Amino acid sequence: MTPKKKKTALVTGGAGFIGSFLAEELLSRGYRVYAIDNLSTGSLDNIEHIRDNPNFIFEVGTILDETLMEQLISACDIVYHLAAAVGVRLIIEKPVDTIETNVLGTETILKLANKYDKKVLITSTSEVYGKNEKIPFKETNDSVYGPTVKSRWSYACSKAIDEFLALAYYREKKLQVVIVRLFNTIGPRQTGQYGMVVPTFIKQALLGHDITVFGDGKQTRSFTDVRDVTRALADLINFPN
């Protein structure tokens, strides 16, 4: 009897905080996992414990490299697209990288996934809701963003364009896509280097420093454990469009 071929997944941003946990989750489910990361915000330390797994193949590279991405996407059954410029500090300091990575990178992923007919899950963000204060949020609500002179809003707009583009591929070209908006994912391996709030708070507390709070301190946020997020991502790609 011919052995059953392992299902193969590609994780972009696979050495990142969320991507490394997703790769781990997929491996535990019996997948063969390809991962790519340019290590701009990801780290080899995040995947050190799975580097020796024969079902884990890691490439250092950028999703803007169309030749490399074509090799990876053509070899996989499904694509989890997590690679993006993230973190408020990074977005403000490198707005060009933010826009190019988020928009042009996603365009490359979708174009090649469509070429090889591979289902794609795209991780979007709660930032897409913008300044809308209507609670609870709905995907059908209008979005209100800040002015273009504020680099901070380039992230929300670029991820919204990712969603528009993914849905356009679905409607026009029948590409199977899943879009997930993540809210403040936290957990082990997360760094405060790029402005992530919980690691920043914890570091300040451990050092005995004042906790930095912006605004009047009355705002609330929803936080989700990264292990809950990655289990959900692994399940959601299997839902029919």
User: What amino acid positions are annotated as catalytic residues?
Assistant: 155
CA-to-CA distance for 118 and 72, rounded, in angstroms?
11
CA-wise closest residue to 35 among 8, 4, 6: 8
For residues 35 and 23, the answer to whether their CB atoms sit within 8 Å is yes
| Distance (Å) of CA 15 to CA 22, 58, 103, 108, 115 | 10, 9, 20, 20, 26
CA-wise closest residue to 176 among 184, 186, 166: 166
Length of the chain: 241
Q: Would you state the structure tokens that stand for residue 167, as one six-digit string? A: 């849905």
Place of tokens 């009897």: 1
CA-to-CA distance for 19 and 70, rounded, in angstroms?
20
CA-to-CA distance for 24 and 174, rounded, in angstroms?
30
Q: Would you state the structure tokens that stand for residue 135, as one six-digit string? A: 């609670």
Strands 56-60 and 177-182: unpaired
Q: Would you state the structure tokens that stand for residue 229, as one six-digit string? A: 């997020």
